[in-house]
């Protein structure tokens, strides 16, 4: 049965580490979809560090712009870790600065459709970028809005949502259920 699990939190909150732990508990063979691009030496170092921390038998596929196409080609029932939605949306924005919203919206819808069509156990990592100050520049505000909406769409479709704070996952669906009582 298809499952969608979302891990969100701030920078360096431990969300990728927690998502990797969760993925490891689901299956031995994990497909890791990486959205980061090495634009400079520091980013390449971050990518190398992430790669070195993952089990070597995990399959890594780089998909900085069209993660949905990669998902649509995976074997039915695959366990997939998409890290991260934040960079995917950033990449799409920078590639389509004039009208990014329809492009991002289409990619999010395609990700959700592929997850269902391929019966994937999809684990998505993203950042909560709207918890800080309002960005000073228009492009930053557009980005914050795009990722905020994308996060909401993924969370609405997710079977479980975890907010990671200081390395500790908080089950948001469980909190939501408690508040609904």
Q: Which residues are catalytic?
A: 50
Sequence-ordered strand ranges (E) for the chain: 3-9, 31-34, 59-62, 79-83, 121-127, 160-165, 168-171
Return the number of other C-beta atoms located less than 10 Å from residue 108's C-beta. Answer: 24
Give CA 49 to chain center in angstroms.
18
SS3 content of the chain, % helix, strand, coil (to 5): 50, 20, 30
């Amino acid at each position: 049965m298809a499952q969608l699990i979302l891990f969100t939190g701030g920078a360096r909150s431990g969300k990728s580490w927690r998502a990797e732990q969760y993925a490891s508990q689901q299956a031995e063979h994990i497909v890791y979809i990486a959205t980061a691009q090495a634009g400079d030496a520091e980013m390449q170092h971050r990518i190398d560090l992430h790669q070195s921390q993952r089990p070597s038998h995990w399959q890594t596929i780089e998909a900085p712009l069209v993660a949905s196409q990669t998902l649509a080609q995976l074997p039915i029932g695959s366990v997939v870790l998409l890290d991260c939605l934040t960079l995917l949306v950033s990449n799409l924005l920078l590639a389509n600065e004039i009208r990014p919203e329809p492009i991002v919206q289409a990619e999010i819808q395609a990700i959700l459709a592929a997850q269902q069509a391929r019966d994937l156990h999809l684990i998505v990592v993203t950042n909560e970028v709207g918890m800080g100050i309002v960005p000073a520049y228009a492009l930053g505000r557009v980005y914050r809005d795009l990722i905020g909406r994308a996060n909401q769409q993924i969370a609405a479709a997710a079977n479980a949502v975890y907010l990671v704070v200081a390395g500790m996952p908080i089950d948001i669906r469980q909190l939501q259920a408690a508040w609904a009582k």
